[in-house]
Structure 1
Amino acid sequence: MSDIENRTRDVMMKVLQISPQDISPDISRKNRPAWDSLKHMNLMLALEDEFGIEFSDKEIVELNSLHFLVDALRTKRS
């Protein structure tokens, strides 16, 4: 696991209030009831703070899984 993925998972655990074993590689808003719209916005803000980046409105809507989040963060960090 990369540093970006580990940090993303840590933020997800805190914001979504879930345990590490609940964060599977395919976790998404569709399959995780705790990941509602309010927590999604809190997650986006927490990730922006953690990585010192900013997501566009379009990105916020589309970043609905661990996979998409890690890919977007890798792109923004490069």
Structure 2
Amino acid sequence: MNARLARRFLGVAALLALLVPLTLGVEAWQVERVRAGKDTRAAAVVADAQQTLQARTTAVMADLHAEAERLARDPA
């Protein structure tokens, strides 16, 4: 495996390892507030957080895939 691709993959994995638990923790807190009836706006915020996380994850994975394809064609 190309060293640059491996570094890129590990960087993306580290970024996701930080973003996903943080986002899910915030989401869980907001869901708990909705269930407790403390925050009526939290439902919209939870939906927005889910969409944002999905968009970021999709963008990162697409970028990683494009980089892997580029390196497969031109490993230099």
Normalising by the residue count of structure 1, what TM-score does the alignment of the two structures yield?
0.32
Please identify which structure carries the higher helix content. Answer: 2
Radius of gyration: which is bigger? 2
Q: Relative contact order (alpha carbons < 8 A, sep ≥ 6): 1 or 2 greater?
A: 2
